[in-house]
Amino acid sequence: MAYQAKDYSSLVGMAGFSETLIKNHFTLYQGYVTNANKLMDTLSVMLKDGKTTVPEYSELKRRMGFEFNGMRLHEYYFDNLGGKTQVDKNSIFVRTVAESFGSYEAWEQDFKATGAMRGIGWVVLYQDWTGVLFNAWINEHETGHFAGCTPILVMDVFEHAYMIDYGLKRADYITSFFKNINWESVSKRIK
């Protein structure tokens, strides 16, 4: 089964995200989809041909996590963008965040601080199977994910997500990101 890139063209025109930035980001996402499909095809042929003990098979298996998670994390990211309203202070999201962090404001401060850390990667608000929410830093697509946890809100902090519009001002990008969160989409991810 081949994966298909989702159409996120409705995000073009978001405040704080230039058309050039967002379209470049879509192209990068399409590359992850394409490469995940190529890897799955190649690995399938190698398995069929009995070439599972060669180093190439092992390396392609390791690469699969990078390409697949690059695809999926971008889908979470784009899916949680496009909102035009403030967070509903009575929503399940705000209530659940307050249970884990004490208040929405404490959660937001921690999420933004995590996003402002030096380095490239992702900020992911996870929900553990116990219901607890926590913010995590993910360096690369395939490294550092928390087993058994569901991504609730995902923010890309690789340079391609903001450099065209914000240069080195990552904090300004984070502010624009928060202005464009689709809180309804995020709330639907809460269990």
Chain segment 117-173, per-residue pLDDT in tens: 999 999 999 999 999 999 999 998 888 899 999 999 999 999 999 999 999 999 999
In the chain, the domains with their CATH numbers are 17-79 (1.10.287), 92-188 (3.55.40.20)
Amino acid making up residue 128: D
Give the bridge partners for 123, in sequence order.
137, 155
Please write the tens of the pLDDT for every residue from 99-117: 999 999 999 999 999 999 9
- The answer to whether the pTM exceeds 0.85 is yes
Residue 108 CB partners (closer than 8 Å, separation 6+): 178
pLDDT at position 1 is 75
Torsion of CA 134, 142, 180, 98, to 10 degrees: -10
Residue, of 143 and 184, whose pLDDT is higher:
184
Give the DSSP H/E element, type plus range, for residue 126.
strand 122-127
